[in-house]
């Protein structure tokens, strides 16, 4: 257990910190979206970001692999360290960062190409060309994403012909194929059917032995089921930046939250 003495008193109840974020502020142009975020995200665990709509949890997630760089006018203050190195530091190429910090989106987004080519896309991008090597990576990634059995005989079929839940697992396989350290999941289950939700949740539990998983979710039951730690975000007033209200072990957050606002949210008094 690590207890940091940095401002904001972030603590990491389990394991070593993968991400260490200090006093992060985020702006979209003139709009101040996040303020004073300080958090240590544990390695090889599942961390859930919860909070009502518009509380900045997805925005924060997208700071962690610099996807916000794609938005004109986006700007951060503060520090985000991944394995001790500043990801916004000089000489850091966001393209390399995103290979290490993979991302799954709310809407399953297979590319309009075959299942095989979807999974092989990342490895090919990074220079792997040999057929047998690619075959092996693709199979491994699909096995890890619990999709291999369903698609092994239809690898040439279009990725978009799969069901929504299968598409989401295909997207997970596609990310796993580039061997990321971290998997960011932005409401990965909100657009898929309940059976697939179950499969994706099981998957998170299996993956965390090798990958640090961070999931943004609207669904508190899901956060309680899948995560080891939970962070609660809130925008207290319209027009004011969102803050990290409470962060701790999931069991603790859900049974005995320290902050009144966390308790109100979890018991369904708002949001």
Partner 1 sequence: MSKRWANRIALGVLWLCGLTTVVVLGAVIVYVFVRGIGQITPEFVFTKPQGVNAEGGIGPTIVATIYVTGLSMLITTPIAVLAAVYLAEYAVQGKLVNAIRFAADTLAGVPSIVMGLFGFAFFVDAIGLGFSVLSGALALSFLTLPIIMRATEEAIRAVPRFIRWGSYGLGASKWQTVSKIVLPAALPRILTGIILAMGRAVGETAVVIFTMGQAVYMPITPLDSGRSMTVHLYTLAMEGINMDAAYGTALLLMAMILFFNLSTRWLAARNRRLKG
Interface positions with partner 1 (CB under 8 A): 65, 67, 70, 95-100, 102-105, 107, 109-113, 121-122, 125-126, 158, 160-161, 171, 174-175, 178
Q: Are 203 and 172 in contact (CB under 8 A)?
A: yes
CB of 139 vs partner 1, minimal distance in Å: 18
CB of 19 vs partner 1, minimal distance in Å: 17
For partner 1, which is the closer residue by CB, 214 or 266?
214
CB of 95 vs partner 1, minimal distance in Å: 5
For partner 1, which is the closer residue by CB, 175 or 253?
175
CA 239-240-242 angle, to 5 degrees, is 120
For partner 1, which is the closer residue by CB, 88 or 105?
105
For partner 1, which is the closer residue by CB, 8 or 94?
94
Cα gap 107→191, rounded to integer Å: 6
CB of 42 vs partner 1, minimal distance in Å: 22
CB of 103 vs partner 1, minimal distance in Å: 4
For partner 1, which is the closer residue by CB, 111 or 148?
111
CB of 187 vs partner 1, minimal distance in Å: 12
For partner 1, which is the closer residue by CB, 105 or 148?
105
């Amino acid at each position: 257990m690590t207890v940091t003495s940095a401002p904001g008193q972030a603590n990491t109840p389990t394991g070593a910190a993968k991400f260490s974020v200090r006093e992060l502020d985020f702006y979209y142009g003139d709009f101040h979206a996040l303020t004073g975020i300080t958090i240590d995200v544990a390695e090889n665990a599942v961390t859930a970001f919860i909070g009502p709509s518009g509380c900045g949890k997805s925005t924060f997630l997208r700071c962690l692999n610099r996807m916000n760089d794609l938005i004109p006018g986006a700007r951060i203050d503060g520090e985000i360290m991944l394995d001790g190195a500043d990801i916004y530091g000089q000489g850091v190429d966001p393209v390399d960062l995103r290979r290490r910090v993979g991302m799954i989106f709310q809407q399953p987004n297979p590319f309009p190409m075959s299942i095989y080519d979807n999974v092989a896309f990342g490895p090919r991008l990074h220079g792997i060309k040999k057929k047998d090597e690619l075959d092996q990576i693709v199979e491994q990634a699909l096995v890890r994403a619990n999709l291999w059995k369903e698609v092994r005989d239809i690898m040439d079929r279009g990725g978009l012909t799969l069901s929504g839940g299968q598409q989401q697992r295909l997207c997970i396989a596609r990310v796993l194929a580039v061997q990321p350290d971290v998997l960011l999941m932005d409401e990965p289950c909100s657009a898929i059917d309940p059976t697939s939700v179950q499969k994706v949740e099981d998957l998170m539990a299996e993956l965390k032995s090798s990958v640090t998983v961070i999931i943004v979710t609207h669904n508190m039951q899901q956060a309680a089921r899948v995560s080891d730690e939970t962070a609660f975000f809130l925008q207290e007033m319209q027009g004011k930046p969102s803050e990290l209200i409470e962060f701790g072990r999931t069991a603790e957050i859900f049974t005995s939250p320290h902050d009144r606002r966390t308790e109100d949210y979890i018991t369904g008094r708002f949001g």
